[in-house]
Amino acid sequence: MKKVILGTTALVAASALTAGSASAAEKIKLDVGGYLQTSFVVADYDTDNDQLPTDLRHEGEVHFTGETTLDNGLTFGVNIQLEAYTASDQIDETFIYVEGNFGRINVGSENSADYLMHYGSPAPVPAWTLNDPNAEAGGFETPATVSKQVSDADKITYFTPRFSGFQFGVSYTPDGDKETTSGTVYAPIAVEGTADEAYSLGANYTGDFDGVSLAASLGYQLLTRSGALEDTDEISAGVTVGLAGFEVGAAYKFTDNEDGANDDERQDWNIGVTYGQGPWKVGVQYAGINRDGDTANYDGDLAAFVVGGQYILGPGVTAFGGVQYWDGEDGLEGSEGEDATIFFVGTALSF
């Protein structure tokens, strides 16, 4: 119930600014949007059987969004994201927000401020980016320079207005184990999990200088834990630069006590470059993981790269293709072996 009170308090405080006059604003009406990405895959895994599997991969979400602006300028909105296929977390994210001259407040199941404000290296193709913590290939864990310890757990996030190119954000997560879609929203938590409160700080900068675009970010997240588990810290940074069709970027994240294990340290990084003109774009992205801990099955290194290109066929329709290569060692070997080469071609739709 604590989370409900906190969330309600944040919105009531913002709503109080609207009191004193009748509103001519319209009731919120939901719009439907989202994306669907489908790929045909041929992969060669390093196994005893020298497998050459083929597969079809799908990734997509349906987004229900809507907002209304009151007479005094405050905007209230809702965002509900439904997985476009059967998944354990069928409702991916769901939150409400209010924004105005003071900035923006999110309340609900959404990523933290440092995640949302992060910049990483550019990806040459949709669906196969090496920035995504939810993407895996043959059991290999994808490098992720964004924080992922509390993910979509219910939280309150505040973003300042952007001034002189700078913006700041802060998040508070009352319970790192709790997400709205995991149970009855208004039921009190009967048994606390191992993840307790979490705190997140984010900052970024965007600017243009005589045709050169610059975006940079810094982030920090602390997840407190109960019992014998240790607190987890994540520190991240990223930068991208664009010029004359080229975009170059890099990102880094350091995690201390990953998943609450004492002295399990992890480093994630990525670097990429793309070039595009008009409807087409090509590029390469390179990423890696280094883990260092007290147990041999945790220690390990992983490197991965993707080379590919995309072409916009029309509004909301993009064709893409490319190849990924993965190389894992020790505790970061893939479930199909140490190496994997993946060829893919697909279509990405946005609506």
Write out pLDDT tens, residues 325-338. Answer: 998 887 777 665 67
pLDDT band at 18 (very low <50, low <70, confident <90, very high): very low
Amino acid type, 281: K
Query: CA–CA separation, 215 vs 238, rounded Å?
Result: 8
Of 194 and 154, more confident: 154
How far is residue 200's CA from residue 155's CA, in Å, rounded to a whole number?
A: 10
Reply yes or no on whether the pLDDT at 23 is more than 60: no
Residues in contact with 313: Cβ distance below 8 Å, sequence separation at least 6, in sequence order: 279, 319
Task: Tell me the whole-structure pTM to 2 decimals.
Answer: 0.85
Residue 21 clears pLDDT 50, i.e. is over it = no
Question: Residue 5's pLDDT band (boundaries 50, 70, 90)?
Answer: very low
**Interatomic CA distance for residues 226 and 192, integer angstroms:** 9
Give the separation between CA 263 and CA 266, rounded to whole angstroms. Answer: 10
| Residue 319 pLDDT grade (very low, low, confident, very high; cuts 50, 70, 90) | very high
Q: Please identify which residue in the block is written with the tokens 């072409």.
A: 311
pLDDT confidence bin for 10, thresholds 50/70/90: low
Q: Which residue has the tokens 């039921």?
A: 187
What pLDDT is stored for residue 285 in this prediction?
A: 97
Shortest CA distance to 249 belongs to which of 117, 119, 121, 118?
Answer: 121
254 CB-near residues (< 8 Å, 6+ apart): 234, 235, 236, 265, 266, 267
The neighbour count for residue 22, using CB atoms within 10 Å, is 6
* Least confidently predicted of 102-111, 170-179, 190-199, 222-231: 190-199
CB 95 within 8 A of CB 81: no
- 45: tokens are 């895994």
Share of the chain above pLDDT 70, in %: 83
Q: Which fold has domain 2-18+32-350?
A: Porin (2.40.160)
- Please state, in angstroms and rounded to a whole number, the distance separating the CA atoms of residues 155 and 173: 4
What is the structure's pLDDT at 336? 58
Looking at residue 68, what is its pLDDT?
A: 96
pLDDT at 211: 92
| C-alpha pair distances (Å), 107 with each of 49, 94, 111, 112, 194 | 50, 9, 10, 11, 22
* Span 117-124, average pLDDT: 95
Task: Look at residue 281 in the predicted model and tell me its pLDDT.
Answer: 98
Distance of CA 21 to the CA centre of its chain: 39
Structure tokens at 333: 């070997």
Distances (CA, A) of 184 to 4, 180, 191, 194: 12, 7, 14, 19
What is the per-residue pLDDT for 1? 39
Indicate whether 184 pLDDT > 80: no
Question: Is the Cβ–Cβ distance between 108 and 4 less than 8 Å?
Answer: no
When pLDDT is averaged across residues 83-107 and rounded to a whole number, the result is: 91
Helix (H, G, I), strand (E, B) or coil at 15: helix
Q: Residue 204: pLDDT above 50?
A: yes
Q: What is the per-residue pLDDT across 264-289, written as a single tens digit (0 to 9) for each?
A: 999 999 999 999 999 999 999 999 99
Which of 280, 351, 286 has its CA nearest to residue 320? 280
With 60 as the cut, is the pLDDT of residue 14 above it?
Answer: no
User: Which among 43, 46, 60 is positioned nearest to 137, based on CA atoms?
Assistant: 43
Q: Give the pLDDT band of residue 253 (cuts 50, 70, 90).
A: very high
Measured in degrees and rounded to the nearest 5, phi and psi for residue 205 equal -140, 135
